[in-house]
Amino acid sequence: MTAILEVKNLKTYFFTKKGIVKAVDDVSFEVYEKEILGIVGESGAGKSITGFSILKAIDPPGKIVDGHIYFHGDDLIPKSEEEMRKIRGNKISMVFQDPLTSLNPVFTIGYQIEEAIKVHNPHMSRDEIRERSIKLLKSVGIPSPEKRLKDYPHQFSGGMRQRVVIAIALANNPDLVIADEPTTALDVTIQAQVLNLMKRLSQEKGSSIILITHDMGVVAQMADRIAVMYAGKMVEIGPTEEIIFNPKHPYTIGLIRSIPKLSGRTDKRLYQIPGIMPSLLNLPPGCAFAPRCFCKTDICEKEMPEFEKVGENHYVRCFNFRRIADDRQSCKS
């Protein structure tokens, strides 16, 4: 397996009046060819900012302060805005959370799809562009696409709009699609359809996907590997099965325990991780999760643990993961 994307020590900070918000702090990971990497974490963990950083689409006061983003071995960080423009929507594209707001309300969807093709294929003829747009709409399951090209976003339902957004994201057969909570704003029944569509199309076209979500259920079903983020840092990364059935980091364990289950005892109260994520403005000195951890020790509040290998491609950033694995009870003491 070859990595198409290597993110190394990425740091994206927001310089606000109240201080520096370390939204993404020293994050490293790879995305391999044709794989789906899930990034999970709660709101404000830095997942979306990681996604936008890859495209260097961070608006002030945000700034990528350090790190490297190697795309096919080529570092994107020193690239100019114009060079990035040629990559955006062409080699790397993105799908947003809310399909109701990601399409421009005053242009037809035909215009918006054709624009995405045209901007990266300036020499393509009108008919070719149109043909490709119709094909794209058909491939994402929009009925009678020839007619619907003339329609405006408000004439589509939420699920249909997200299909249009996906069609735009896939318009130029990108190598990587960053899907930022693509189904969060949709009905559960539509969610599954859209996720399956994304999975099928990416397999057909050979694209990799970074699937950003806070929904453990969604990543478990979709992803080949899962990365868990907490307070701007990556805390655990590994193959999906390992993360789901053999989680090491106490935060990952908490996330998995808080997935609602329909089978078994349903009268039991749903597990919740105590406390809330600390403000990114003043993080505790050691491990950011320590204040909420059921297994913290003195060192957790002083130092940030390094990544340790715990299995094949499975890494965790925790001082006490061995103790947790041996005997969870011992943590209490």
Partner 1 sequence: MLEIILRRLWQSIIVLLAVSLLVFVMVYVSGDPVELLAPPDATEVEVAQLRKALGLDKPLHVQYLQFLKHALHGNLGYSYVNNAPAVELIFERMPATFELAMMATIIAVIFGIPFGIIAAVNPKKIYSKAIMIGSLFGISFPTFWVGVMLILIFAVTLGWLPSSGRGETVKVFGIPWSFLTWDGIKHLILPSVTLAGYHLALIVRLVRAGMMEVLLQDYIKFAKIKGVSKKKIIFVHALKNIMIPVITIIGLNFGGILAFAVVTETIFAWPGMGKLVIDSIHLLDRPVVVAYLMIVAVIFVIINLLVDIAYTFLDPRIRLK
Candidates 69, 168, 220, 290; binder of partner 1 (CB under 8 A) is 168
Closest CA to 170 of 205, 195, 194, 203: 205
Residue 80 burial (10 A CB sphere; 0-12, 13-18, 19+): exposed
Q: How many CB atoms lie within 10 A of CB 179?
A: 28
Pick the closer one to partner 1 by CB: 106 or 188.
106
By CB under 8 A, tell whether 103 contacts partner 1: yes
Backbone angles phi, psi at 226, to 5 degrees: -125, 135
With respect to partner 1, which residue has the nearer C-beta, 102 or 207?
A: 102
Produce one character per residue of 206-223: b if its CB has 16 or more CB atoms within 10 Å, e if not: ebbbbbbbbbbebbbebb
Q: Please identify, using beta-carbon distances, which residue of 23 and 253 lies nearer to partner 1.
A: 23
Q: Is the bond preceding 61 in cis, omega lying within 30 degrees of 0? A: yes
Of 7-15, 98-106, 259-267, 299-307: span binding partner 1 (CB under 8 A): 98-106
Binding residues for partner 1 restricted to 138-167, rule: CB under 8 A: 152, 154, 165
Query: CA 235 to CA 302: how far, in whole Å?
Result: 17
Minimum distance from residue 92 beta carbon to partner 1 (Å): 9
Among 66, 98, 215, 308, binds partner 1 (CB under 8 A): 98
CB of 111 to partner 1, least distance (A): 10
Q: Is 194 helix (H, G, I), strand (E, B) or coil?
A: helix
The first and second tokens of residue 86, run together, are 């040629």
Q: Under the criterion CB under 8 A, does residue 96 sit at the interface with partner 1?
A: yes
Binding-site member from 55, 170, 218, 290 for partner 1 (CB under 8 A)? 55
Does residue 132 touch partner 1 according to CB under 8 A?
no
Contacts of 38 (CB under 8 A, 6+ apart): 211, 212, 213, 218, 219, 222, 223, 225, 226, 227, 240
Region from 6-14, 90-98, 137-145, 281-289 binding partner 1, contact rule CB under 8 A: 90-98
Site mask for partner 1 (CB under 8 A), range 64-83, x = bound: -----------------x--
CA Rg value for the chain:
21
Q: Which amino acid is at 13?
A: Y
- Which residue from 1, 57, 270, 299 is in contact with partner 1, where contact means CB under 8 A? 57
Q: Torsion angle of alpha carbons 24, 30, 85, 66, nearest 10°?
A: 40
CB 247 → partner 1: shortest distance, Å? 33
CB atoms inside a 10 Å sphere around CB 224: 19
* Closest distance of CB 306 from partner 1, Å: 34
Quick one: which segment of 1-9, 87-95, 244-252, 287-295 binds partner 1 (CB under 8 A)?
A: 87-95
> Binder to partner 1 among 8, 85, 205, 292 (CB under 8 A)?
85
Q: Which residues bind partner 1 (CB under 8 A)?
A: 55, 57, 81, 85-90, 93-94, 96, 98, 101-108, 115-116, 119-120, 152, 154, 165, 168
